Each structure stands twice: as C-alpha cells, then as structure tokens.
Amino acid sequence: MSRIPLIAGNWKMYKTGPEAVETARKLASLCSDIHGVEIMIAPTFLSLPLVAASVEGTPVKIGAQNLHFEKQGAFTGEVSADMIKATGAEYVIIGHSERRQYFGETDALVCKKIKSAIRAGLKPVLCVGETETQRDEEKTILVLDKQVSDGLKGCGLDELKDLILAYEPVWAIGTGKSASVDQVQQVHTYLRSLLEQLFSSEFSSQTRILYGGSVKPENVKALMGIEDVDGALVGGASLDAGTFIKIIEYNR
C-alpha cells in the first residue's frame, strides 16, 4: 500500500500576514520540481487566505492549526471549518499538544472538531503524544490509546478516509531533542495496529502517520526511513523556507 509522504509545517503563532506570504512564496518557488511528496503549511488564521492565494497552483497546500466545531454562531473569536475551507485550505491540525496543554482541549472536544472538519471536507491531522512524565511512568501506550480511541469515537470508516495521524511526543516538541528511531518505530507500529483494531486493516494500511517533534534537516532522513512513518509535522524548522525545503527534499 503506497502512502504518499506528507511534510507539513506548523507555523504556530509566528509571522504576520506579509511575512507569511513572503515565506510561502519563497517555499513555493523552491518546490516547483518536487515529486512524490505532499507539502503543506499551516499559517495563522489571519494569514490563511493571503497565503492560500499566494501559493495557488503550486505544490504547496494549506492547512489551519485549529477550528471551532460549530458551523457558525455566537462564538466570539472562533473560526469554523467552513470558513477555513472557503480560504482554499485543505487540511486542519486538530488536538495539537499546545492546544491540549494551554487551552484545555480534551479528547471529547478533539472528537467534535474531527467530525466538524470531515463534514466541511477538510482533511484532519489528529495530533497525539505523551508527556515526558507519562513516558517515564511507562504510560505512553495507554495515553495514545485513549487519545486515538476517544478522539475518533463514533466516526465511521467512510468519514475517516482523509484522516492523518501525527505522533508528536510532547517532550520532543521545540526542545531540539527528537525521539529516537527506536522510540518512533515502536509507537508508529503500535498506532498502525491500533487503527486496525479500531477500524480495519485496509484503513490502517492506507492512513498516513506523521512524526513531529524537533524534526530538522539533520535528522529527517533517518526518521522518514522508519517503517510506518509517512511524513513529518515540523514546527520551528518550517519557519524558514530554505531550511524547510531541506526537510522536504530528505530523499535527495
């Protein structure tokens, strides 16, 4: 089963609109002859329409970093899936550990967001990952099991065809300390078997599982060489087009 790798950049709360457009344009010009890998960047909500327009017709695809699960309504400060879709975005990151940690997102909320993204025709990137304490206490599998099972609770197989899973160990995010090849291999193998157990073996073998957490040009080749790793979700190293392209070109 061939799964086209996805290299995604999560720009978090960095870059004004003009800065985001400048980086996106630069990136698009650098990836004009990239094949066999999908490329996505997720700027802030404010930059979404600007960036989407600036990379239209290039291999660079666009994603949002979050959404509100309602279609519309009196939810001051929030943005719905339909609104994101209307900008030209294709993807949406859901349940990032920073949302769970700083904004109190629970698995139940994550699940509502996943369903809302699917309804609007966005491809959800569900983020899961354990904290350092949870790993030390050997609770990694338990934590991931709950995040995936509860995050996808009640979703039908037909709804999940565009789902992407991203394993991002919290202790590896922004720390410069990526998980080791062995650690990543172990978790990704487990996640694939969990998808099989929860849904089906066909679904499990079709679903892309990304790794995120201190991915850099120096370690990307080793990480992408791991069986069951189908791409990367990159934070810091995606902010500079020249650095990010080196990650995208990991196979060259």
Q: Is the Cβ of residue 99 or residue 192 nearer to ligand 13P in the bound state? A: 99
Q: Is the Cβ of residue 49 or residue 235 nearer to ligand 13P in the bound state? A: 235
Sign of CA dihedral 236, 242, 245, 249: negative
**Least Å from the CB of residue 232 to ligand 13P:** 8
Using alpha carbons, list the distances in angstroms from residue 82 to 6, 92, 202, 204. 23, 11, 29, 28
Return d(Cα 186, Cα 183) in angstroms, integer. 5
The contact mask relative to ligand 13P for 232-251 (x = CB under 6 A, - = no) is -xxxxx--------------
The contact mask relative to ligand 13P for 146-185 (x = CB under 6 A, - = no) is ----------------------x----xx-----------
Identify whether the C-beta of residue 63 lies closer than 8 Å to the C-beta of residue 88: no
Site membership for ligand 13P, residue 212 (CB under 6 A) = yes
Q: Which two three-digit tokens encode residue 146? A: 């709950």
Tell me, yes or no, if 22 is annotated catalytic.
no
One of 5, 43, 169, 213 touching ligand 13P (CB under 6 A): 213
Across 30-59, b (16+ Cβ under 10 Å) vs e yields: bbeebeebbbbbbbbbebbbbbbebbeebb
Instruction: Give me the active site residues, please.
Output: 96, 168
Q: Which residues bind ligand 13P (CB under 6 A)?
A: 10, 96, 168, 173-174, 212-215, 233-237
